[in-house]
Amino acid sequence: MSTTTAPVAAALPKGQRRNYARHYWWFVAPCGVVVLATILFPWSFTLYMAMHEWKLGGGRTFVGMANYVRLFTDDRFHLSVLRTLYYTALAVIFPMILGLLAALAFNQKFPLRGLARTIFILPMMATPVAVALVWTMMFHPQLGVLNWLLTSVGLPPSMWIYDASTVIPTLVLVEVWHWTPLVMLIVLGGLASLPQDPYEAAKIDGATAWQAFRHITLPLLSPFLIVALIIRTIDALKAFDTIYVITQGGPGTASETINIFLYLNAFAYYNMGYASAVVVVFFLIIVALAMLMLWARQRFKDAI
């Protein structure tokens, strides 16, 4: 019985308490059924499909672990995993650094600070597909504004998303522009809640601005930075819409992350069994990364 209903039940006679508990579960049961239906059934069905050879619209053939064996011998899948980790690392590191610097800047008092904050967070308000379409036009080698800016200052034009060597960093550029404001808002909220007494004591002791930041601001901000890190990691790992709209995994397969690989196998090649195996393995990768982040968080807390 929940803690909110326990005091109410305790005030009733013993026989009525049993009736109360019995009727209480009738109200909880519908919610439990919905939760099980929306979580347990999809996962069970995914595991079932992953053990079958199933072309969409055709029959199912039980193949056991063959899809997983195929997955671990599929070089295209291996490369998609590496691209996903590469993309995630860049899409987390740069927004974290830039968001922290922006929060420190906006935490200072200067004219039109409110207007500047509003302008800075505007990219976060746009939908990913709209952002992707606008940046796709900007990345055009001949008609895009970015190459015009480069040539106007004497720099050579870039192929951006049309070159396999630059497509992932270019996609990260879009991600950084879009989601750095989110990190800034989280860190800015943390800065607003910091106590001032440690800073006053550090000032009396003659600490420099860097020493105050290193030994006071950063440790006190660590819970907010960890929250921002977790949110950004989850967002970057599941990134699909921006990448698909801009490159569809191209050129060739140069920007084919796990999500793009999964989508193509499921809805372009109609291989639902193999795609389900990808889902299971991707879930295990996410769980492993989550456990690693929790371990690192605990080690960081112990070190402070």
Structural domains for the chain? 6-67 (no CATH), 77-303 (1.10.3720.10)
Average pLDDT over residues 147-174: 94
Instruction: Check pLDDT > 90 for residue 292.
Output: no
What's the whole-model pTM score?
A: 0.86
Give the pLDDT score at 304.
60
Helix, strand, coil % in the chain, rounded to nearest 5: 75, 5, 20
pLDDT class of 10 with cuts at 50, 70, 90 = low
Average pLDDT over residues 258-270: 93
pLDDT class of 55 with cuts at 50, 70, 90 = confident
- Could you write out the DSSP letters of every residue in 210-234? HHHIIIIIHHHHHHHHHHHHHHHHH
Q: Mean pLDDT of all residues in the chain?
A: 88
Question: pLDDT (tens digit, 9 = 90+) per residue, 244-253?
Answer: 999 999 999 9
Give the pLDDT score at 3.
47
Distance CA 157, CA 150 (A): 6
List all residues 6 or more positions away from 265 whose beta carbon is below 8 Å from its beta carbon.
271, 274, 275, 278
Average pLDDT over residues 52-68: 88
Give the pLDDT score at 40.
85
Give the pLDDT score at 128.
92
Distance CA 215, CA 205 (A): 13
Instruction: Read off the DSSP letter of residue 271.
Output: B
For residues 167 and 254, is the Cβ–Cβ distance under 8 A?
yes
Question: pLDDT (tens digit, 9 = 90+) per residue, 171-210?
Answer: 999 999 999 999 999 999 999 999 888 888 988 888 888 9
Question: pLDDT (tens digit, 9 = 90+) per residue, 208-224?
Answer: 889 999 989 998 998 89
Give the pLDDT score at 1.
44
For residues 181 and 125, is the Cβ–Cβ distance under 8 A?
no
Distance CA 57, CA 272 (A): 10
Distance CA 255, CA 251 (A): 7
Question: pLDDT (tens digit, 9 = 90+) per residue, 95-154?
Answer: 999 999 999 999 998 898 889 999 999 999 999 999 999 999 999 999 899 999 999 999
